[in-house]
Amino acid sequence: MLFGQKSQERNDRVPPGQTLTQSWPVLHYGSVPYYKDMSQWDLRLFGLVEEEFSMSYEDFMDLPRKEFANDIHCVTTWSKLDNVWEGIAVSELMSKVKLKPGATHVMLHAEHGWTTNLPLEDFLQETSFLGIRHNGEWLTPDHGYPVRMVVPHLYFWKSAKWLRGIEFMPKDKPGFWERNGYHMYGDPFLEQRYDFD
């Protein structure tokens, strides 16, 4: 039965404890940055790299883009399936820097000092990217304009909105929510919501 197969497939895609939503909730800590002048904006790659790299908004917007499709799973229990994004592959960015030996983790730095950590391996996955458009629209300020990280295989708090920096680290270190009780890794299929999970 086709219908049965489809709903089975859908169940396999929805992690335990999650409920599907068609809308796209807005969730973050602090205020939304509204950029007036992009000449002040840059994106920095730093930490364990041979040479720090920083790019302007114009250079960033000239990077080659790709389409990505994925499901997002928020720790507050909503999931949104079948998102289509336009974004920049992580490999594209990584071609700008040479990692020093010993880099094992990444800290994503967002506007206003918000941070989130993840293993380098997860950051480098081909499914991770820097998103600039979602379902045919430019990201709105609420959802991370001009660019947000998207790491779809982890809970959505790892997908930093208003991304400004990528720091390569020699060991793991908690970011903002991770210091406040969230899980260091955050696999939605293992329900790694809080640090005791």
Going by their DSSP bridges, the two strands 42-47 and 53-56 should be labelled as antiparallel
Contact by Cβ (8 Å): 130, 93 = yes
**Residues making up the chain, counted from first to last:** 197
Task: Give the contact letters, 152-171, x = binds to ligand MTE (CB under 6 A), - = no.
Answer: ----xx-xxxx---------
What is the smallest separation between the CB atom of 169 and ligand MTE, expressed in angstroms?
18
Pick the binder of ligand MTE from 13, 14, 15, 28 (CB under 6 A).
28
Determine if 109 is a binding residue for ligand MTE (CB under 6 A): no
Interaction partner, residue 43 (Mo ion, ligand MTE, none; CB < 5-8 Å by kind)? none
Measured from the CB atom, the residue of 27 and 124 that comes closer to Mo ion is 27
Q: How far is CA 172 from CA 75, 103, 180, in A?
A: 21, 10, 15
Please choose, out of 16-24, 100-108, 127-135, 150-158, the segment that lies near Mo ion by the rule CB under 5 A.
150-158
CA neighbor of 80 nearest in space, from 150, 2, 185: 150
Q: CB atoms < 10 A from the CB of 107, how many? A: 21
Pick the binder of Mo ion from 157, 162, 168, 182 (CB under 5 A).
157
What is the smallest separation between the CB atom of 182 and Mo ion, expressed in angstroms?
9
# residues near ligand MTE by CB under 6 A: 17
Pick the binder of ligand MTE from 65, 143, 183, 193 (CB under 6 A).
143
What is the smallest separation between the CB atom of 24 and ligand MTE, expressed in angstroms?
6
Determine if 25 is a binding residue for ligand MTE (CB under 6 A): yes
Measured from the CB atom, the residue of 27 and 190 that comes closer to ligand MTE is 27
Interaction partner, residue 115 (Mo ion, ligand MTE, none; CB < 5-8 Å by kind)? none
Instruction: Name every residue whose Cβ is closer than 8 Å to that of residue 100 and which is 6 or more positions away in sequence.
Output: 48, 49, 50, 168
Give contact residues for ligand MTE (rule: CB under 6 A). Answer: 24-29, 74, 110, 114, 143-144, 156-157, 159-162
